[in-house]
Amino acid sequence: MDRDEKQSGAAGILPDALALVSEALGHLRYGAIQLTVHDGKVMQIDVTERKRLTD
Protein backbone atom coordinates (compact mmCIF):
# COMPACT_ATOMS: atom_id res chain seq x y z
CA MET A 1 0.00 0.00 0.00
CA ASP A 2 1.52 3.30 -1.01
CA ARG A 3 1.21 6.66 0.72
CA ASP A 4 -1.67 7.91 -1.46
CA GLU A 5 -3.75 4.79 -0.74
CA LYS A 6 -3.25 5.22 3.00
CA GLN A 7 -4.23 8.88 2.85
CA SER A 8 -7.38 8.22 0.82
CA GLY A 9 -8.41 5.43 3.22
CA ALA A 10 -8.03 7.71 6.22
CA ALA A 11 -9.69 10.67 4.49
CA GLY A 12 -13.20 9.46 5.35
CA ILE A 13 -12.65 9.34 9.08
CA LEU A 14 -10.28 12.31 9.33
CA PRO A 15 -12.94 15.06 9.01
CA ASP A 16 -15.05 13.30 11.68
CA ALA A 17 -12.04 13.00 13.99
CA LEU A 18 -11.09 16.63 13.41
CA ALA A 19 -14.65 17.73 14.18
CA LEU A 20 -14.63 15.78 17.45
CA VAL A 21 -11.24 17.17 18.46
CA SER A 22 -12.38 20.69 17.59
CA GLU A 23 -15.52 20.26 19.67
CA ALA A 24 -13.52 18.92 22.62
CA LEU A 25 -11.11 21.85 22.39
CA GLY A 26 -14.04 24.26 22.41
CA HIS A 27 -15.33 22.84 25.70
CA LEU A 28 -12.01 22.13 27.40
CA ARG A 29 -10.42 24.71 29.68
CA TYR A 30 -7.80 22.51 31.41
CA GLY A 31 -6.99 18.96 30.40
CA ALA A 32 -5.74 16.71 27.64
CA ILE A 33 -6.95 15.18 24.39
CA GLN A 34 -5.39 11.86 23.39
CA LEU A 35 -5.80 10.25 19.97
CA THR A 36 -5.38 6.51 19.45
CA VAL A 37 -4.32 5.65 15.90
CA HIS A 38 -4.30 2.20 14.23
CA ASP A 39 -3.02 1.74 10.68
CA GLY A 40 -3.01 5.49 10.14
CA LYS A 41 -6.66 5.94 11.19
CA VAL A 42 -7.95 7.66 14.32
CA MET A 43 -9.74 4.94 16.26
CA GLN A 44 -10.36 6.59 19.62
CA ILE A 45 -10.39 10.05 21.19
CA ASP A 46 -9.98 10.37 24.95
CA VAL A 47 -10.67 13.68 26.68
CA THR A 48 -9.43 14.19 30.22
CA GLU A 49 -10.79 17.32 31.88
CA ARG A 50 -9.39 18.89 35.01
CA LYS A 51 -11.25 21.26 37.27
CA ARG A 52 -9.20 24.02 38.84
CA LEU A 53 -10.23 25.12 42.30
CA THR A 54 -9.31 28.53 43.65
CA ASP A 55 -8.63 29.34 47.29
Kindly report, residue by residue over 10-41, the tens digit of the pLDDT.
556 688 899 999 999 999 999 999 999 999 88
- Rounded CA gap, 25 and 15, in Å? 15
β-strand partners of 38: 41
Pseudo-torsion of CA 47, 53, 54, 55, nearest 10°? -160
Q: What is the DSSP pairing of strand 31-38 with strand 41-49?
A: antiparallel
Which pLDDT value is given to residue 52? 83
Which pLDDT value is given to residue 6? 52
Task: Say if residues 35 and 17 touch (Cβ distance below 8 Å).
Answer: yes
- Rounded CA gap, 44 and 23, in Å? 15
